[in-house]
A and B are shown apart, each in its own frame.
Chain A
Amino acid sequence: MFRNKATAFACAVLVLLLSACTSPVKTAELSGHIKVVGSTALQPLVTRAAQLFQQRYPYVQISVSGGGSIYGLQAAANHQSDIGDSDIYADPALYPDPNLTDYIVCVIPFTMIVNTGVTITNLSSQQLTDIFSTGTVNNWKQVGGPNLPIVPVVRPATSGTRATFRKYILGGRDEKGQLLQTDSSTTVLETVAHTPGAIGYIGLSVLNPNKQSSVRAIAIDNQMATANSIASGRYAFWGYEHMYTLGESNNLVNAFLNFMFTPTVQQEAHKLSYISIDVLRLSTVKPLSNG
């Protein structure tokens, strides 16, 4: 009997020790500073995520700022910030560092907005091309709207949103329109709201919190920017949100990036009108049209 009791006790002690060994790094020990710069489209989510992260780990400080996707990429590539948010892909030619790791944290849907004076609700991709690029359509009555001159609101060349619009809607063509000086989604919103006949595009994450009565979202090819339409591939005007970082060995940065994928943050993304990545699995596999 004594022998059995002793061995049982020893076994229990051993189990406790080993389980302690196998447990991961104590999460309460995280401390440090993270700097996040880049995309303004992703900024709301990152800010919210940073708040939540700092609540869980009081010794961590995260600073989130904007500046645009390209600025974010450059900062990340040059070690000026820990994480660079970006709406666009990092060109392997421009950023050849193989350690520059891409984390796709969510999907941002974009939508075309028009001034409420414009009565139409839908525009086709061709019409958009005509409006924004070729300029053949310059009055709303040409597309079934009122007799108003169309005022396309154009973002600066550094804008990732603009790049996405050009790639996925304009097919690579240039934009012609009222050029904005700064790449700010809120500016676009205000411009469209206060300019009759104006049309612009904006991310839903910016539009929905700042709902204004004088701006209305319209459909492209009869598809609104919803998770469903994006997931099924019918709506093309959306983009991945990337968080680029150099180097994997930073425990804190990895912890924060992993935190971005937790359901907590993804729910926040949904709340903020992003689309969480688990919605968008592999349903974008479309049959390729080969020649």
Chain B
Amino acid sequence: MSFSKETIATTDRATTPALPIRPKSRRGGHLLLDLSIAGRLTLGFLTAALIAAFVTGVIGIERSQSLSRQSDFYQSLLEANTALTTGANFLQLMNSETHAVLDTASASSPSQETLNQEQNAVQMLTTRYDNTLTTYVTSNLLTQHPDQVNLLDEAGHSIQVTQQQTLASSALRTWHLYSTSQQEILQNVKQGNIEQAQLLERAQGEPTNADARSALSALIQLDTRLAVSVRDAASVEEQMQILTTIIAAILAFVAIALVGLFISGTLVRRLKKLRQITQAVEQGQLHARATVIGRDEIADVSASVNAMLETIIGLLEETRRQRDALTNAATHLFSDMRLVSAGELRADATVTNDPIGLLANAFNFTISRFRRFVVRAQSTIEQMEVIAQHELARSEVFAQIMRNCLQESSAQPHPDSPPLNRPIRNTPSGSLTIPDESNEPSDLAPKVEHIREYLHQLNNKGIVQHTRAVSVLAKQISHALRQLSEQMKVQAENSLDGKSTLALLMYLQELQRLENRQLHMISELDRVQKNTTHGLRAVDTDLDKLTADLLLLKPDKSQLSNTRVAEYALQGIGFSHDITMLARNLTAVAQELNTGIVTFQLDSIEGTSPATNAARQSYVLAEEVTLEPQKLPAPAAW
């Protein structure tokens, strides 16, 4: 048994497929499927967070960059504006200072110091304005700031770049003209040509100053317009950025959704397949197996599900095997029981360690006890037979004696009669010996007494005791059978499948039948015992009466008439005849019991068996004899 179990185990291991680590298809998810689920989820979330952070960062950086560009532009515009406005002031001041110079110069007695001061002032203003314009032209123009040009392009105001250049060149040209004329004027003043200087101032200086100021103010206005353009560009940029933000958000959402989809796919696909497997198992298909892909928790679960299914199949096979073995053993037991039922009490069922085997053991025990009982009963019956035969012989002897007595009384009443035919001596078991030749009534009494005693003995020892013993045995056997049937009932309840249960139920029925027969037997034995007891008791009373009669007869020996003796002898003969009948009946009963036990069929106990009838008849006769002593059965009835 253990070896077979081992082989089962090895075959299980052989049929379990080795876990495939690399799937045949889906190259993309290899590495991912080897990661634990927690790792994969972490990776997914980190990727999603990364995507979101990246998109947000890019958008934020772009926005801040554009804002900083705009603010830089505004800053530069402000600086340029301030510078140019200061320059416009300078031009104004130049004009007024030149006027002041001329006025001072044309005075009647010009103060040289004041003149010099004013001339210096003019010169300084000139230098200042020159620097301002030069600085502006060299560093503040749009063309020198490509990002500012780009900004204006976005707003569609790229014309203003050219405009700025043109206005700047116009400002330079007018300034150049003005400064030239100014120099000339100052030159004239230095040379003392005040009138010429004044003329020049009026004719050229002022107009050119006006031109220069106009050109400069045009430039300043352009810078103001540039600010408006930057605002337009800012709004355009803002719209572009909203668009970019929306698109980036959508892309990020799609990307994160893809990542989530991908990762959930690695989980859900295999779980769905696993669910298919378990659903198949629910419906009874134990041969479905999950394909193990990857090395993560789901793969572990799949592998263990496979192993579980293998184990289940193994267990089922094991159960089936055990049940078959049990059924086999039960079948054997059943056949043995059949044998027993047929009457073969020597059946010996094989004992094993399984429940059927233990049942077989109990069965064996019960059957052996039953067999012992049967054997004992048989022996008892044989004893009974012997006793009965013995009694039969004895009664015949008694009858002979009576006959002799009758003959002697009818022929001659000799006190010394020749010895008669001695009846045959009894069997060793019988203790009733033929008394000596005297057939006197006084000798009859002890004989009768002996018979009585012997009958008592028989009643007590032989029959009653033995039948009682037999009934006790039978009761024990029935008790054992009951126990066995209970055990089988319990076994039937704990059995593994229906077949063994059915077998066990069959056995149960058989045992119950056995028990029933047993009970019948017991009751029959009791009845027999009662009958016998009754009969013997009747015999006993009869004998007692006979003894009394004989004793009565004793003192009045002389009055003994032949007819009385003959009567008594006849009664005695009749009585012995009855006894013989009783004994014969007893024999018959005993024989029937024997055959019944042998054939194991005591079905017709309640029925009309001839032995029972004979017993009943004899009992009735015995009663008649005792109740009506006058009644003489015909001796010819012999």
Contacts and interface: CB of A to CB of B under 8 A. Distances in A.
A284 B159 contact: no
Contact of B174 (A3, A14, A89, A174): A89
B247 A11 contact: yes
Interface in A1-47: 3-4, 7, 10-11, 14-15, 18-19, 21-22, 24
Contacts of A281: 165, 169
B250 A286 contact: no
A160 to B, nearest CB: 12
B200 A172 contact: yes
A282 B183 contact: no
Contacts of A59: none
B54 interface: no
Interface in A238-289: 240, 248, 258, 261, 277-278, 280-286, 288-289
A22 B228 CA distance: 17
Interface stretch (B55-63, B236-244, B463-471): B236-244
Interface string B118-130: 0000010011001
Interface residues of A, number: 48
Interface in B247-286: 247, 250, 253-254, 257-258
A209 interface: no
Interface stretch (B207-215, B306-314, B378-386): B207-215
Contact of B183 (A7, A88, A277, A291): A291
Given A3-B257, A22-B239, A285 B169 contact: yes
Given A15-B247, A290-B130, A291-B123, A89 B137 contact: no
A134 to B, nearest CB: 13
A104 B211 CA distance: 14
Contact of B169 (A4, A168, A258, A284): A284
A93 B206 CA distance: 11
A103 interface: yes
Contacts of A167: 177, 204, 207-208, 211
Contacts of B217: 92, 98
A102 interface: yes
A104 B170 contact: yes
B221 A98 contact: yes
B258 to A, nearest CB: 8
B177 A288 contact: no
Given A10-B250, A103-B163, A278-B162, A18 B243 contact: yes
A103 B170 CA distance: 11
A98 B183 CA distance: 30
A163 interface: yes
A54 B130 CA distance: 44
Nearest to A173: B203
Contacts of B179: 288-290
Nearest to B216: A92
Interface in B457-476: none
Contact of A282 (B123, B169, B186, B208): B169
Nearest to B254: A7
A101 interface: yes
B226 interface: no
A56 B115 CA distance: 62
Contact of A18 (B204, B208, B221, B246): B246
A108 interface: no
Contacts of B167: 102, 104
11 contacts: A18-B242, A89-B214, A91-B214, A102-B167, A171-B181, A172-B204, A261-B162, A281-B169, A285-B169, A286-B172, A288-B176
